[in-house]
Structure 1
């Protein structure tokens, strides 16, 4: 979701210690930040090598599912029976296995029991209802009605909140498999009230079901942790086992079901006209409506008492999710990755038609192709986005927001938010659905890596896209936070205060700094693709990523992992003094220290306040074609608005909605050096985090020159360094990190002569509506009204 087991093998106690940024010589001004990670990382073994690749004896478990389920819309219940075949590929004998019962999250008694603080300032009717509900069992969560082995013999089990242990009748030896049958049911929750990823939403009297974490499923048993059976609190997501699925889904006959995998019986569940449209979509160059807007509107007018069963199959996936509603418009078109066809699809109600019909499926296609470029070719036959007023991901399917105003207009924030969330959630197919990290323990390996590639894909969508997470300058405010509000990236998800910046933005920004400033695009991209290739359909740990990035690039990055991932220190590098000299006997070195409702204007175009280095390099790279240039149908009012092609209305007002001895030179040598200017610059590391030095000189004629020094400049003194720079012109000013590449939290001490730090302004203004619902007067709507 857009949203630590420790790296080392060993006990939980060892894990807690090894998450810290251990200093070898904490009282010294050197020998700390550039030492190798050493024992912080786990010892290489036959399962995971020192290079970061899987070892010769790497293994992982497998679980296959055959499930039959039925949706009872009238009573808002789901019941199912499943047959699970569990393969023990480990070298260990297992006497029990663990399953996840994630729906117990909604139960007032069986949830994980992780309490959060509260105060009287947070009291609301819902809060009071929740306090009262906790006193009794509210009826939510999985009800297990039957559990037997393959012969029908009852099995013993124990439920501990969101986890279920099945005690095996005999030890499961290495190489053996175990088959069991499980009958269950649960009451479906209103996700708009109970939150969570799955459940229903009621829109215009009709339900929109997003069925996620809906069936009991195997926990991961791994070489580095054993059973991952940490309780599900609703934040830390999932550690899951790959397997093959066959799922039969019975729903009201007027519903449309979209799902992980490929449907096996369209001939039985679609009309002849819809089947014909599906056939047409296979070769289409624009999205084709399989279920049309008119058909969806008509279906909303009545509720069928008949039933249909949709059958889906999916191989080598770690999870399975589906959605069902009579509200759905469904469109599709193919995208091609290395010659393989992937059907890109979207499902959405009429409330989202104005945005989803134009954009969603094309965003899905763009995402699949972009991520394939930066990681591995997309391996599955389907990728789809479902509009559901939330954001969550599963193999081949994800749920995203994006609804218009009733008149069909929408704000630029809604449009850009929808594009970003679709890219993010579809991108999760790669991380962690394929590169299958443990989300429960390492949220950043899921969210951070995905947010980074999301940023790359957004930048390839439109060079003016206002990406929020990725550019270094965007993380500065978080890095300025008080130390008691910060924790290392290498922290368990349940213990993080500012989850978004820590798990999403900081790791994504760190990877972008590696790509743009420290390693360079060529070395970084090769190493990152190698990581994805090595760990596709496997279970990587942080150490596997860290080691692979160094192994494939020959760049020592331990200092960066230490500072950015294990530490909380910010970057604050200051120019302290500058001494200036020319090759002239008379030169004197210099040194300087470094009643009525409140009204709002119509929103200005949303573009990043700072043109970051990624945007500039992407624009200069002639091999890059932005999606809005390749497909001009993607250009809407806001594409023109961001470029000044639609005028900004500064007049209309609307109500406010509810970062040594001199050498003796010959005359010829004097002539050679007479135009050389030397600058001795002293830098101090005020923040603690070491970073490269990026020094820009501005000369008397207005031209500029940038000189770059690697972070290793700090290795002999991590607090202060002095460096001599040579230029052929006289500088009038010097600036450290001019393109804001290092997330420096105080730009006020980055210049010589010193300059005041500019004030900040807010870039996004968003109201308190349901997520993804455009509302209020927007520039598109205002412009249309003026034309009429």
Structure 2
């Protein structure tokens, strides 16, 4: 997003309870996964058991599964083809200068042998995408009934790119296990993995046992159940938060392995990160007298110097989003600093996020951590279809990130290098008015409602789904008043947490709260070009 800033100048600009019906249903999953890391072969060996509960009114004859590690197998996958298009359409540098193409080590998943209730299940491969498979049920799954699907699996991790893989002896394990697709009133949603375009996942519980060499530190979705290991992380983390000499993790059993268990409820996904040299930091956040959560961060030993403030930034983000939208519901919140040779901002998973901003200054690091932690609300708790409606995830979250930056720093991550001193001295309201005047002037041809896979440029995707949506949310704030908008979003959060809201559900919540017809404002989601 930094590329667009050179085009902008800011000086001298003028100031400017919906109740669900009983017809709603969603499926329910309960995962039990065992996985072991082979650090030398950069591979995983695992076993999956997932209990699938059919809350739909339909009888199911099959279940679609995502096999997303196969997206890394070759250049002919949906991700490979998309990345080639995005690379060709990059809008930076000299178009006549040919850059050396990076060759990545392939990744894939194999060793699958699906069983349903201990009966061998046949499968059908998707004809277009090797990262999706249909598991045929030996007997039809009736409404209200459940089945247990099991399979062994092996994963070869690629070198780290597009959210997952290994870098040296560090492992960033995302999109790694066979995962049922969402089934809802619109049918199945089997989607291939894409680099640009995120996910649509079903809620459930996780119990995951991770076996690694004893020297490794792990950060993962959910809560660590090994009390001795948890106590060690906390002890080391408290020392490292004192900003004195860093304390690294050591084990009394080098050369051995250990198995750590993580559990979580009402979650959409599970990711984990492992390294021998992660710098653990730890703090606590008391949201209410009865709710104290653990705050962890895992940093690079020679990473960004601003990472020393990471737990402080995480805590402040959770405080603000809890106040603005609704209280953070999980017992832990975490962030992982990615490898220094990567710079992609971040990628979020429930209770944990990966941050790859090696050159970010303090305000920028705070902003990107806040954005990624904020996805616990807009994706993690409000489980929208990100592939279809990226704005309900990225854009609404960006609006709150901009509020956070304006309140705390009189800054904005898109325009940070171009904000004069006199603008930063304005009140928060006046500052935001100036900022959004500029953001609305950025060319954004596609409508906000454009599906993420329809964009052929990273810049266009970012400008439309992040920035243009933030402008739209600010327009709602101006039309309704901030207090009313906040009450509407809080009602939306309360009624739709751990569910799959659609755009019309957000609209009804805001109309019920405000007492206004919002047809015209929501019609702007389909408007080409600038909103105004």
Query: Would you call these one fold, judging by a TM-score over 0.5?
Result: yes
In structure 2, what is the Cα distance between the partners aligned to 1:444 and 1:124? Answer: 32
Q: SS of the counterpart of 2:284?
A: strand
Question: Given the alignment of the two structures, is residue 328 of structure 1 paired with residue 304 of structure 2, yes or no?
Answer: no
Q: SS of the counterpart of 1:294?
A: coil
Question: Given the alignment of the two structures, is residue 89 of structure 1 paired with residue 36 of structure 2, yes or no?
Answer: no
Question: Given the alignment of the two structures, is residue 456 of structure 1 paired with residue 422 of structure 2, yes or no?
Answer: no
In structure 2, what is the Cα distance between the partners aligned to 1:441 and 1:261? Answer: 27
Q: Name the structure 2 match of 1:501.
A: 463
Which structure would you say has the larger Rg?
1
Deviation, structure 1 residue 508:
1.4
In structure 2, what is the Cα distance between the partners aligned to 1:105 and 1:288? Answer: 42
Deviation, structure 1 residue 457:
2.5
Is the Cα–Cα contact under 8 Å of residues 406 and 432 in structure 2 kept in the other structure? no
| TM-score, reference length from structure 2 | 0.84
Q: SS of the counterpart of 1:181?
A: strand
1:478-502 Cα offsets, whole Å, 9 max, x none, are 75567xx711001111112401111
Which of 297, 319, 333 does residue 383 from structure 1 map onto? 333
| Change beyond 3 A, Cα 1:180–1:80 | same
1:148-203 Cα offsets, whole Å, 9 max, x none, are 22325344342442211111111111001111111111221122xxx21111223x
Question: Given the alignment of the two structures, is residue 570 of structure 1 paired with residue 530 of structure 2, yes or no?
Answer: yes
Within 5 Å, which residues of 2 pair with 1:388-787? 388-389=338-339, 390=344, 391-403=346-358, 413-460=360-407, 462-468=408-414, 471=432, 473-474=434-435, 486-496=445-455, 497=457, 498-515=460-477, 517-563=478-524, 565-570=525-530, 689=532
Question: Given the alignment of the two structures, is residue 306 of structure 1 paired with residue 256 of structure 2, yes or no?
Answer: yes
Question: Given the alignment of the two structures, is residue 239 of structure 1 paired with residue 200 of structure 2, yes or no?
Answer: yes
In structure 2, what is the Cα distance between the partners aligned to 1:386 and 1:168? Answer: 39
Question: Given the alignment of the two structures, is residue 143 of structure 1 paired with residue 110 of structure 2, yes or no?
Answer: yes
1:652-711 Cα offsets, whole Å, 9 max, x none, are xxxxxxxxxxxxxxxxxxxxxxxxxxxxxxxxxxxxx4xxxxxxxxxxxxxxxxxxxxxx
Q: Name the structure 2 match of 1:780.
A: none
Deviation, structure 1 residue 288:
6.6
| Change beyond 3 A, Cα 1:471–1:500 | farther
In structure 2, what is the Cα distance between the partners aligned to 1:478 and 1:502? Answer: 11
Is the Cα–Cα contact under 8 Å of residues 375 and 529 in structure 1 kept in the other structure? yes
Is the Cα–Cα contact under 8 Å of residues 173 and 271 in structure 2 kept in the other structure? yes
In structure 2, what is the Cα distance between the partners aligned to 1:276 and 1:210? Answer: 22
Q: Name the structure 2 match of 1:6.
A: none
| Change beyond 3 A, Cα 1:422–1:480 | closer
Q: Name the structure 1 match of 2:248.
A: 295
Q: Name the structure 2 match of 1:65.
A: 31
Where structure 1 has 5 or more consecutive residues not aligned to the other structure, the ranges are: 3-50, 131-137, 405-412, 572-688, 690-788
| Change beyond 3 A, Cα 1:173–1:472 | farther
Is the Cα–Cα contact under 8 Å of residues 104 and 110 in structure 1 kept in the other structure? no
Q: Name the structure 2 match of 1:105.
A: 71
Once the two structures are overlaid, the 10-residue window that deviates more, 51-60 or 545-554, is: 51-60
1:57-77 Cα offsets, whole Å, 9 max, x none, are 211001111001011111111
Is the Cα–Cα contact under 8 Å of residues 352 and 402 in structure 1 kept in the other structure? no
| Change beyond 3 A, Cα 1:248–1:151 | same
Q: Name the structure 1 match of 2:151.
A: 182
In structure 2, what is the Cα distance between the partners aligned to 1:256 and 1:456? Answer: 34
In structure 2, what is the Cα distance between the partners aligned to 1:275 and 1:386? Answer: 14
Q: Name the structure 2 match of 1:618.
A: none
Question: Given the alignment of the two structures, is residue 218 of structure 1 paired with residue 180 of structure 2, yes or no?
Answer: yes
Q: Name the structure 2 match of 1:346.
A: 297
Deviation, structure 1 residue 305:
3.1
| Change beyond 3 A, Cα 1:104–1:437 | same
Is the Cα–Cα contact under 8 Å of residues 266 and 275 in structure 1 kept in the other structure? no
In structure 1, what is the Cα distance between the partners aligned to 2:369 and 2:234? Answer: 28
Is the Cα–Cα contact under 8 Å of residues 288 and 333 in structure 1 kept in the other structure? no
Question: Given the alignment of the two structures, is residue 208 of structure 1 paired with residue 159 of structure 2, yes or no?
Answer: no
Q: SS of the counterpart of 2:41?
A: coil
| Change beyond 3 A, Cα 1:157–1:106 | same
Is the Cα–Cα contact under 8 Å of residues 144 and 183 in structure 1 kept in the other structure? yes
Q: Name the structure 2 match of 1:753.
A: none
Q: SS of the counterpart of 1:65?
A: strand
In structure 2, what is the Cα distance between the partners aligned to 1:78 and 1:450? Answer: 33
Deviation, structure 1 residue 567:
0.5
1:540-573 Cα offsets, whole Å, 9 max, x none, are 011111221112111222212223x1102436xx
Bigger RCO of structures 1 and 2 (CA < 8 A, at least 6 apart): 2
Deviation, structure 1 residue 233:
2.2
| Change beyond 3 A, Cα 1:333–1:369 | same
Q: Name the structure 2 match of 1:38.
A: none
Question: Given the alignment of the two structures, is residue 124 of structure 1 paired with residue 99 of structure 2, yes or no?
Answer: yes
Deviation, structure 1 residue 402:
4.7
More helix by share: 2
In structure 2, what is the Cα distance between the partners aligned to 1:109 and 1:551? Answer: 48
1:751-787 Cα offsets, whole Å, 9 max, x none, are xxxxxxxxxxxxxxxxxxxxxxxxxxxxxxxxxxxxx
Q: Name the structure 1 match of 2:235.
A: 277
| Change beyond 3 A, Cα 1:468–1:98 | same
Q: Name the structure 2 match of 1:31.
A: none
Is the Cα–Cα contact under 8 Å of residues 288 and 332 in structure 1 kept in the other structure? no
Number of residues of Structure 1 aligned to a counterpart in Structure 2: 483
Alpha-carbon RMSD: 3.0
In structure 2, what is the Cα distance between the partners aligned to 1:166 and 1:477? Answer: 50
Q: SS of the counterpart of 2:393?
A: helix
Q: Name the structure 2 match of 1:156.
A: 123
In structure 2, what is the Cα distance between the partners aligned to 1:70 and 1:319? Answer: 18
In structure 2, what is the Cα distance between the partners aligned to 1:220 and 1:525? Answer: 30
